Structure 1
Amino acid sequence: MATSAQLMSQTPALELFSLRGKNALVTGGSRDIGAAISIASADAGASVCIAQRDTSNTATADAIHSRGGRAKTIACDLTDVHTTKNVLQEALNIMDGEIDILVNCAGILKRKECLEVTESDWDGVFNVNLKSIFFMSQAAGDHMISRKSGKIINIASMNSFVGGENHAPYSASKGGVAQLTKALSNEWARHNVQVNAIAPGYAETDM
């Protein structure tokens, strides 16, 4: 068996990250961090399905096409958790019945002091940032477990671990994402479905 050092010497570095032949579904994949993930996944060889609220915004899909990649867009409003199974099924329909990778990137943030946060504010943030991730993962996990293969990547945040200021619902929801990721990983590893999270720091985005 080749050692990791031997593999590195024999294989071009970018080949180690090849996604050729893989299908990726990226929620919130048309803007900011999600757009970067969509484009990078396509650059690595994946066929990308971009789930976005506004399908008239084709900038990210157009960027992928201009670079020789493959991308399609589907409408996705994750404020309504009941749409998650429909989103997954639509993605499966346009990607030959296979989803290899799910990236849960959709998220929102409302900047308010704690004393000003309303129940509607709280529920709105949690519905998108945490509840939708669970139910998207549940729908994708069912598909991936049946085929004994899959990758789920959740976008957490540095605020999963550092409370931050003036965005308590966001920090609480991202803390939940970190723990949910561990729970799903523990449960689904035996089925060869890996669940991980990325916790970005501050980035210049529309939020």
Structure 2
Amino acid sequence: MSPALPPVLKSFDLSGRTALITGSSAGIGFALARGLAGAGARVILNARNAGKLAQAAEQLRAEGASVLTAAFDATSGEAVREAVDRIEAENGPIDILINNAGMQRRAPLEQFEEAQWHELMKTNVDSVFLVGQAVARHMIERRRGKIINICSVQSELGRPNIAPYTASKGAVKMLTKGMAIDWGQHGIQVNGLGPGYFKTELTEALVKNAEFTQWLVGRTPSRRWGDVEDLVGAAVFLASEASNFVNGHILYVDGGVTATL
């Protein structure tokens, strides 16, 4: 018989909790879903593509995870409300929400197309508001819940040709603080997780760019790219009882990028 966990470690245990992760069929969202499942949570994967969701769920189930899927558009208020209400009615409370859905578009600001601006803002900011609000309405009734919004080092710092993305992630940072202020009184903790530069499908071209990688590694105190697994511990902390008095905070997991000029 294995010994019982000490109280400090037990506070990180997510057994019996259900977590909804938007944009989780691949990349950072998938890694976070896998990490929360490893800490004991039942995870609900979300994306618009049902086929990709099914493949991701099958992979996690093969690893022993408890997984559900919910295909809906996180930028559509009507679709979000219907999906969240259905999940709550059919599968029980959503205890943890990770707002991870996001996108990137690159172009000099003077050439950035208006349609792409609206697309980026809708995906990166509107989804956080819509899914956060829909889930929080249920959490408020229960007087408990954890919401983690995926921010970025670009919530603090800029880079050439991504001004709209930087604006969107700055908005997510401040929306996180606003959510914490309004919903903290209801027993809900809302925090942000701010990844630095991570190796994912979306950054593959940058990783292969020797000049950029040399610049990034030299710019990062930890002297490497991030691996998505580096985000898991921080996510489990913010999703667990260990962070019950952490609210409105942005936890940067960036190898020290935001600490240095």
Do both proteins adopt the same fold according to a TM-score greater than 0.5, normalized to the shorter chain? Answer: yes
**Partner residue of 1:156?**
151
What is the rounded CA distance, in whole Å, between the counterparts of 2:83 and 2:157 in structure 1? Answer: 32
Give the secondary structure class of the aligned counterpart of 1:199.
strand
**1:186 corresponds to 2:181:** yes
**Partner residue of 2:86?**
90
**Partner residue of 1:35?**
30
**Partner residue of 2:222?**
none
**Partner residue of 2:248?**
none
What is the rounded CA distance, in whole Å, between the counterparts of 2:78 and 2:115 in structure 1? Answer: 18
State the 1:91 CA deviation: 2.4
**Partner residue of 1:69?**
65
Amino acid at match of 2:83: V
CA contact (8 A) 1:79 1:124 kept: no
Give the secondary structure class of the aligned counterpart of 1:87.
helix
Stretches of structure 1 that go unaligned for 5 or more consecutive residues are: 1-9
Q: Among residues 57, 60, 64, which one is paired with 2:56 in the alignment? A: 60
Match runs of 1:116-131 below 5 Å: 116-131=111-126
What is the rounded CA distance, in whole Å, between the counterparts of 1:206 and 1:77 in structure 2? Answer: 21
Deviations 1:76-122 (A, max 9, x none): 223434322122123224422x1100100000001111111111111
**Partner residue of 1:146?**
141
CA contact (8 A) 1:153 1:196 kept: yes
Amino acid at match of 1:137: G
CA contact (8 A) 1:156 1:178 kept: yes
What is the rounded CA distance, in whole Å, between the counterparts of 1:78 and 1:180 in structure 2? Answer: 16
Bigger mean CA deviation after superposition, 70-79 or 138-147? 70-79
**Partner residue of 2:257?**
none
- Equivalent pairs: percent with the same residue? 38
Stretches of structure 2 that go unaligned for 5 or more consecutive residues are: 203-261
Change (3 A) 1:60 1:94: farther
**Partner residue of 1:22?**
17
The TM-score with structure 1 as length reference comes to 0.90
CA contact (8 A) 1:78 1:127 kept: no
Count of aligned positions: 198
Deviations 1:37-91 (A, max 9, x none): 1111111111111111111123321222112111011112234343221221232
**Partner residue of 1:200?**
195
**1:136 corresponds to 2:131:** yes
**Partner residue of 2:172?**
177
CA contact (8 A) 1:182 1:196 kept: yes
What is the rounded CA distance, in whole Å, between the counterparts of 1:187 and 1:79 in structure 2? Answer: 22
CA contact (8 A) 2:75 2:130 kept: no
Give the secondary structure class of the aligned counterpart of 2:191.
strand
Calculate the aligned-residue CA RMSD, in Å: 1.7
Give the secondary structure class of the aligned counterpart of 1:20.
coil
Bigger mean CA deviation after superposition, 102-111 or 159-168? 159-168
What is the rounded CA distance, in whole Å, between the counterparts of 2:47 and 2:153 in structure 1? Answer: 24
What is the rounded CA distance, in whole Å, between the counterparts of 1:139 and 1:12 in structure 2? Answer: 33
Give the secondary structure class of the aligned counterpart of 1:21.
coil
**1:101 corresponds to 2:106:** no
What is the rounded CA distance, in whole Å, between the counterparts of 2:85 and 2:105 in structure 1? Answer: 30
State the 1:155 CA deviation: 0.1
Give the secondary structure class of the aligned counterpart of 1:165.
coil
